[in-house]
Structure 1
Amino acid sequence: MHLAKLLPVAVKEDKSRLPPQLLEKLKPLKTRRPGRFLLELVGAWLVIFSVIALAVHLDHWLMTVTAILLVATRQNILGLLVHDQAHCTGFKPYPGDIIANLFAAYPLMVLTVEGYSRIHLTHHAKYFTEQDPDHIRKSGEEWNYPMRTAQFLKILGGDLLGLNAIKLIKGKQAAPKGRVFVRQNRVPRWLRPAYYLLLATILTATGTWGIFLLYWVLPLVTVFQLIVRWGAVCEHQYNRLGARVQENTPLITMRWWERLLLPNLNFSYHIYHHYFPGISFSQLPKVHDVFVRHGLVDDEAVFHGYWSYLRFILSPGTDSDRGESTRQ
């Protein structure tokens, strides 16, 4: 499979060759941040409950559409918090995994912290090898960027209509090959079914199944799937077996309004997450600043805003024209 244009390399050094002075400056950042984790978790649920309550009260199609969109963005926050708890940057596995499961993973219906950890930590350990579950499930033309605009819109349309939800869900639950990472202090098996039984009981007793299906399940299988797709596209350039992290991971600095409309817990600094998975999402901008001060970031290879990166993945060409494609 041929890639028309390789990703520009924004970070100049491999993790193994980083200067000791830089590593020393990052040591204070390698601590758990439970306060920030809880702040994002509570903030997400406040937005969710507020917009749903307002939509039900106003009973207008425009507010309904707005609520569906906003709920999907906060469902994405919940998924990203599950990702961070997989690395224990929020809480210790116990009782942190229970907190993350009850308030972030279980509401998304198909996730658990322990299940996601098994797959995601394998991705880190077996990065873009034949044992990397992310590389395996994101191989093929569907993940081959850059691509034609019409093909890209067709894929996003399938996500928005819920047509790709089952395939994406199955991909996230695929068992990794080789060594399996088992989460210590495992969550009690009875907790998840008890959670859904309680949820069904509450919805039945309050007569709110309709609200739940419209304002939670519908965005979960439609808009949320589109957001997850975009996050994955911004995460790595796929179909590159054996690639190093800095070779197929874009560095994207978001505009303030992008962070407002589509908050992503600094996920666009994803290369730093792979270099230092024990650093909380809240500290990744500080990591970027340290790399910049040490002259390890090629600004011409940085995508300044989502629009800049979108233009790159929709403009097949050669490596010779990549410099122009990375500027907004």
Structure 2
Amino acid sequence: MSIDTAEEHIASENINKNERTSHPHDAVKGVPNRLPSSLIRELSALSPGKALFALFLEWLGIAAAIAAYVLTKNPFVYLFAVIFIGARQQALTVLGHDASHYRFLPNRFWNDWISNFFMQWPMFISTEGFRKYHGAHHRYLNDEKDGNRFLWKTHNQEGHLVEEWTYPKSKGQLAAKIIRRGLFFTGLRWIIRGLIGMFVIRGSLPSMLARILFYGAFASWFTMAGLWWEFLLLWIIPLCTWHIVTQYIRLIAEHSAVQSDVPGYQETRTTIPKVWEALFILPRNIGYHLEHHWYPSVPFYNLPALHKALMDTEEFPRSANISYSILRSLQEVVKK
């Protein structure tokens, strides 16, 4: 076990017991606006009922969209289903993102297993694999050990941003990137990478065997029931189109062309979406990104309260890059 992994294990056990406010994914360079420990401890308290109910609602929405298309066979209903299911797939990865921070369920065992079965494995990733890169992204944001440099290939070997992740861009360049990524092939590559990755980024042996059985069981069911076409139409196509579009929109908004004159505020943007944007693009408070980077111990349902607490300070509202629409965030990353 590496030193970082050992420290993460110890800290994750401590935050689950609410013994302290530190988190294994805290930024090593700290944050410029430290709220009282008592408040962070309160906001970091987990509510399993809220987490599980959110997961239930996402799967209920997926089931409803599938049923609507199956019952109508209407092409317009299908188009809506693709967008709606793709957005719910994004929501599953957001909930799985909380689990990667040990913030979905208090028990670490059930946190990871529930996350894998109902959030990550259906999306062809794993909680452990995502945590490996995302934890490093938090701890070393914009440093050479930032996990996004490996997961999203944002930088070249010299440590410079590659062209795709260099902003601002022209409107045409931004639109072309998002459209190109949403044309199925990026999503298909993600699926293949995820399936190969389970043999490369190994969790425990029981977890790897369970994941193989998970896919094998569903493959057998689809074969016996003749559901492969429906699986393609109602899971793979939403995943490889709208889900990918929302992932790239989110990523671009989070860290690109962030505007602030104050160090510590210059690396991450907060986007508070409109209601329809929250439903279709930025679900489950994932847009509160500066707040999340500063305090990864706070679960998704408490991020609005964390935002409010920070807005009550003198520095945060003056220095933070806050947008009140995802469309506005995208406008900020294009050339004026």
* Equivalent position amino acid for 1:278 in 2: S
Q: Does 1:84 align with 2:98?
A: yes
**Cα distance per residue 1:223-266 (max 9 Å; x no partner):** 21111101111221279xxx965212012222233223334211
Q: Does 1:292 align with 2:292?
A: no
Give the aligned partner of residue 187 of structure 2: 165
**Cα distance per residue 1:179-220 (max 9 Å; x no partner):** xx997x775321001001110111122221111111101111
Contact 1:251 1:268 in 2 (8 A): yes
Give the aligned partner of residue 95 of structure 1: 110
Cα distance in 1 for partners of 2:264, 2:193 equals 21
When residues 166 and 206 of structure 1 are mapped into structure 2, their CA distance, relative to the original with a 3 A threshold, is: closer
The Cα shift of 1:169 comes to 6.3
Once superposed, which parts of structure 1, at least 4 consecutive aligned residues long, lie more than 6 Å away? 169-175
Give the aligned partner of residue 156 of structure 1: 178
When residues 186 and 81 of structure 1 are mapped into structure 2, their CA distance, relative to the original with a 3 A threshold, is: farther
The Cα shift of 1:298 comes to 2.6
Give the aligned partner of residue 20 of structure 2: none
Cα distance in 1 for partners of 2:142, 2:195 equals 18
Matches within 5 A, 1:1-328: 15-18=30-33, 22-91=36-105, 92-109=107-124, 111-136=125-150, 137-139=153-155, 140-165=162-187, 188-237=207-256, 245-298=264-317, 301-314=321-334, 316-317=335-336
Contact 2:257 2:333 in 1 (8 A): no
* Gaps in structure 2 of 5+ consecutive residues: 1-28, 156-161
Contact 2:33 2:316 in 1 (8 A): no
* Equivalent position amino acid for 1:209 in 2: W
When residues 285 and 123 of structure 1 are mapped into structure 2, their CA distance, relative to the original with a 3 A threshold, is: same
The Cα shift of 1:171 comes to 8.3
When residues 200 and 245 of structure 1 are mapped into structure 2, their CA distance, relative to the original with a 3 A threshold, is: farther
Cα distance in 2 for partners of 1:245, 1:171 equals 34
Cα distance in 1 for partners of 2:179, 2:32 equals 42
When residues 187 and 35 of structure 1 are mapped into structure 2, their CA distance, relative to the original with a 3 A threshold, is: farther
When residues 207 and 118 of structure 1 are mapped into structure 2, their CA distance, relative to the original with a 3 A threshold, is: same
Give the aligned partner of residue 323 of structure 1: none
When residues 135 and 160 of structure 1 are mapped into structure 2, their CA distance, relative to the original with a 3 A threshold, is: same
When residues 127 and 187 of structure 1 are mapped into structure 2, their CA distance, relative to the original with a 3 A threshold, is: farther
The Cα shift of 1:93 comes to 2.0
When residues 35 and 272 of structure 1 are mapped into structure 2, their CA distance, relative to the original with a 3 A threshold, is: same
Cα distance in 2 for partners of 1:94, 1:252 equals 32
Cα distance in 2 for partners of 1:172, 1:236 equals 24
Contact 1:115 1:173 in 2 (8 A): no
**Cα distance per residue 1:146-187 (max 9 Å; x no partner):** 101111111111122123335666888999xxxxx997x775
Identity %: 24
Give the aligned partner of residue 324 of structure 1: none
Alignment size in residue pairs: 293
TM-score w.r.t. the length of structure 2 is 0.79
* Gaps in structure 1 of 5+ consecutive residues: 1-13, 176-180, 318-328
TM-score w.r.t. the length of structure 1 is 0.81
Contact 1:68 1:215 in 2 (8 A): yes
Say what the alpha-carbon RMSD is for the aligned residues: 2.8
When residues 19 and 150 of structure 1 are mapped into structure 2, their CA distance, relative to the original with a 3 A threshold, is: closer
The one of the two structures with greater contact order (alpha-carbon pairs below 8 A, sep at least 6) is 1
When residues 263 and 252 of structure 1 are mapped into structure 2, their CA distance, relative to the original with a 3 A threshold, is: closer
Cα distance in 2 for partners of 1:313, 1:142 equals 13
Residue range with higher mean Cα deviation, 253-262 or 53-62:
253-262
